Each structure stands twice: as structure tokens, then as C-alpha cells.
Amino acid sequence: MPRPTRGRPRAFDRDRAILDAARLFWRCGYSGTSTRALTAALGLSTSSLYAAFGSKAGLFEEAVRTYAERYREIYQQAVAEKDLRAVIEHVLVDSVREFTQPSEVHPGCLLSSAAMTDSTSTLDTSAYYTELHGWNERSLLARVEQAIQDGELTAGTDAAALTGLVQSVVHGLSVRAGLGAVREDLLTTAQLAHKLICKQLTSPTS
């Protein structure tokens, strides 16, 4: 009789491991998430976890950066649009889509998670998020200023006020998403906000 063969061990999926770890960190914070809880959730031994991520702190930092950096990507892609109306639409709509990713592919909102108040000695999550938010806002402000310079907007347009308005809408949508608002409702709100904002963006030639 042929000898029975052992089942293959589950292949290591780094993206899945980061997602599963992020869920724990978001819920319990860095200090409240034990290495034992992580190894159980990820299906890894302690030695395998350390081999893959260096340490619990390394895994935490990778999880934070992985999901927070998605918002930087939204702004990077949006400001590359040639038309400012498209820029604003992408910021609003793509942000909603990120806020409302299904739980099987996203750990939830970092801003409202326990990880924001509990960090490693090498990554202050709150300061990192603030820096990221500042980068996004500066990128959008520069794009609005460029639109004014190029004549896409009237010279009297207040670039800082317009940028602040868009950012305020984004953060309001984020709060509503965290409170359980569904994607369809948030997208409707984002599209209405985009329409109302664009009514004020009358160029000299329009």
C-alpha cells in the first residue's frame, strides 16, 4: 500500500497576514495585542512571525503603513488629473470607496481604531497619520494653486479655503463611514458635494 502523505502546510500569504494582524491591532492597540494572539490569528509560529516581520513592532508598523498609505495613493492619483473637477471627484469618491472596503479585504478605519492611541517606540501612529493628512492636504492645495495659475480657476479663488472645504467633506465622510453609513449613501453625498463645489469653480472662459 502507498504510504500516506502529509498535507502541505498552508502557504504563507503576507498580505493576508498583515490584514489579520491589522484587525487585532485596530481593535486592541499595540500593547493590547499579544504575540500569542497574533500567532494564533495568523497561523504562524513565533519564530515564523519574527522571520517574516522582524518583531511584533515590525508587523504593527507594516500594518499601519500598508493601510494608511492607501490614502496617499488616492491623492497622488487624483492630483495627476488634468481637470480640477476630476481631481476633486477622485479625492471624494475614491476616499469613500476606501472607507467602505469590505471587511474581508480591509481592517477598518485607522483613525477610529485603538492603534491611534497606542504605538511602538519607533512609530507614533497619531503623528504618522497627522503627517500623512498634512501631505495629502498640501498636495491638493498645490494642485488648486496650479489651477489658478493656469487660468483654470479665477485669480480670486481662495486656494486654501477650497482645499479646506474638500478636506472637510472627506473627513466628514470618514466619520459617517465609521458610524456605519453604507457605501451607496456616502457616494451619493460625495457626488452631491462634488457638484456643489464645482458650481463655484467658474473659470474666466466658462
Q: Which of 204, 198, 202, 188 is nearest to 165 (CA)?
A: 198
pLDDT band, residue 163 (cuts 50/70/90): very high
**What pLDDT was estimated at residue 185?**
97
pLDDT band, residue 10 (cuts 50/70/90): low
**Rounded CA gap, 133 and 201, in Å?**
24
Burial of 106 (0-12, 13-18, 19+ CB in 10 A): middle
Sign of the CA dihedral with 12 first, then 124, 162, and 142 last: negative
Any residues with CB less than 8 A from the CB of 51 and at least 6 apart, and which?
A: none
Q: Identify the structural domains of the chain with CATH numbers, from first to last.
A: 68-199 (1.10.357.10)
Q: Tens of pLDDT along 78-111?
A: 999 999 999 999 999 999 999 999 988 899 888 8
Stated pTM of the model = 0.84
